[in-house]
Amino acid sequence: MSHEQMNPMIENILVNIEKVMIGKRDVAELSLVALLAGGHVLLEDVPGVGKTMMVRALAKSVNANFRRIQFTPDLLPSDVTGVSIYNPKEMEFQFRPGPLMGNIILADEINRTSPKTQSALLEGMEEASVTIDGVTHRLNKPFFVMATQNPIEYEGTYPLPEAQLDRFLLKMKMGYPDIHEEMEVLNRAQKVPPIEELYPVIDLEGLLTLQKEIKDVFVDDTIKRYIVDIVNRTRGHGSVYLGASPRGSIALMKAAQAYAYMFGRNYVLPDDIQYLAKFVLSHRIILKSEAKFEGISAEELVNQVVARVPVPIQRLVNK
């Protein structure tokens, strides 16, 4: 984690989220990294740790239209994207938008629904549009999905295929609160829910401006080479069956640009890459069965790779 001075606008959003969320600053920061970079987040965690509350707080902070989709085995693709309904009065089909037409979407328990319905969500994430009866409907801007999946293997779950996991910029875990944080959760639960008293600190136009400015954050060629070296080493590692794709390299660069911007810099440092690598790359690699048997996790493997790649000597950046 960085101790630099945070961009005041970003700090305002985080402080607002913290009125609702207790002790999960790193999760809020990473969620903002994905939102600002125009990506999406996969949150792997048990129910009841505050995922919905955090996403609602984020949506309220940026004055966005929040939608929640509870994925179930009987959910149809049209329940997510919307449907065309014939209007006899107008004598034409009219599009009735689904919950995917919001700005900030919580896709809850995405691995509980069928692959067909999963792919309807993931098509929207990838294309920023949905096609219903041959007509393409553009999704709103900004458009941000936080999908959750339960890490415990229940019966009746449909794990996301690797090609679809690749669509998420970041994957992270929230974890249980510690004892002091959980005491504070109880104290707050006795009063009016803080989420009801949350007000926007930025509007959607302001958020779109931030997303544009992030693209101008400078990435030196030595940093690009550093990213490529790390990603390349995941492909040749003895414990890896399938390494990260070039999409992983792009994702790591975009996430680093957003992270640097959050901390008031207009250039990326090697530290940004080191911190973000496990969140960006661990869900993009498939471990060999022997490695899984030995208890090696994808996150540990990415950390090993990062530790072995020489850190570039940073030139002074006068940008």
Residue 132 included in any domain: yes
- DSSP per-residue letters across 56-80: HHHHHHTT--EEEEE--TT--HHHH
Query: Do residues 186 and 278 both lie within one domain?
Result: no
Query: Do residues 40 and 118 both lie within one domain?
Result: yes
* Domain C-terminal end among 186, 209, 232: 209
How many angstroms separate the CA atoms of 61 and 153, rounded? 34
The per-residue pLDDT of the chain, averaged, comes to 86
Query: Do residues 177 and 265 both lie within one domain?
Result: no
Give the mean model confidence (pLDDT) for residues 42-64: 84
- Beta-carbon contacts of 119 under 8 Å, excluding residues fewer than 6 positions away, are 77, 164
Query: Do residues 82 and 175 both lie within one domain?
Result: yes
Residue 112 in this model has a pLDDT that exceeds 50: yes
CB atoms under 10 Å from CB of 90, counted, come to 8
CATH number at residue 267: 1.10.8.80
* Domain C-terminal end among 151, 180, 209: 209
Residue 107 included in any domain: yes
Start-to-end CA distance of the chain, whole Å, equals 23
Residue 144 included in any domain: yes
Specify which residues 132 forms β-bridges with: 135
Question: Domain range spanning residue 195?
Answer: 8-209
What's the pLDDT at 243? 85
Residue 2 included in any domain: no
* Domain C-terminal end among 209, 228, 261: 209
Residue 315 included in any domain: no
Q: What's the alpha-carbon Rg for the chain, to the nearest Å?
A: 20
Query: Do residues 59 and 146 both lie within one domain?
Result: yes
Residue 154 in this model has a pLDDT that exceeds 70: no
Residue 319 included in any domain: no
What's the pLDDT at 318? 47
Query: Do residues 304 and 247 both lie within one domain?
Result: yes
- Residue 83: phi and psi, rounded to 5, are -145, 150
Any idea which of 64-78, 131-145, 172-186 has the lowest mean pLDDT? 172-186
CB atoms under 10 Å from CB of 142, counted, come to 17
Percentage, residues of the chain above pLDDT 70: 93
CATH number at residue 41: 3.40.50.300
How many angstroms separate the CA atoms of 163 and 178, rounded? 35
Residue 317 included in any domain: no
Query: Do residues 203 and 219 both lie within one domain?
Result: no
pLDDT band at 1 (very low <50, low <70, confident <90, very high): very low
Query: Do residues 32 and 147 both lie within one domain?
Result: yes
Q: CA-CA distances (angstroms) from residue 91 to 97, 134, 137, 140, 170?
A: 19, 18, 20, 27, 45
What's the pLDDT at 315? 59
Query: Do residues 175 and 259 both lie within one domain?
Result: no
Residue 190 in this model has a pLDDT that exceeds 50: yes
What's the pLDDT at 155? 58
Query: Do residues 200 and 234 both lie within one domain?
Result: no
pLDDT band at 192 (very low <50, low <70, confident <90, very high): low
Query: Do residues 28 and 130 both lie within one domain?
Result: yes
What's the pLDDT at 153? 60
**Segment 266-287, tens digit of pLDDT:** 999 999 999 999 999 999 988 8
CA 295 to chain centre: 26
Give the mean model confidence (pLDDT) for residues 182-207: 81
Higher pLDDT, 173 or 194: 173
Q: Which residues of 189-203 are buried (b: 16+ CB within 10 A; e: fewer)?
A: eeeeebeeebebbbe
What's the pLDDT at 64? 92
Give the mean model confidence (pLDDT) for residues 98-117: 89
How many angstroms separate the CA atoms of 179 and 227, rounded? 38
Percentage, residues of the chain above pLDDT 90: 44
Q: Model pTM?
A: 0.88
What's the pLDDT at 254? 97
Closest to 234 measured CA to CA, from 275, 268, 280, 170? 280
Closest to 143 measured CA to CA, from 202, 65, 252? 65
- Structural domain total, the chain: 2
Residue 313 included in any domain: no
Higher pLDDT, 317 or 130: 130
- Residue 134: phi and psi, rounded to 5, are 80, -5
Any idea which of 2-16, 60-74, 93-107, 296-310 has the lowest mean pLDDT? 2-16
How many angstroms separate the CA atoms of 210 and 108, rounded? 27
Residue 86 half-sphere exposure toward CB, CA atoms < 13 A = 2
Specify which residues 2 forms β-bridges with: none
pLDDT band at 264 (very low <50, low <70, confident <90, very high): very high
- Contact at 8 Å (CB) between 148 and 118? no
Query: Do residues 55 and 173 both lie within one domain?
Result: yes
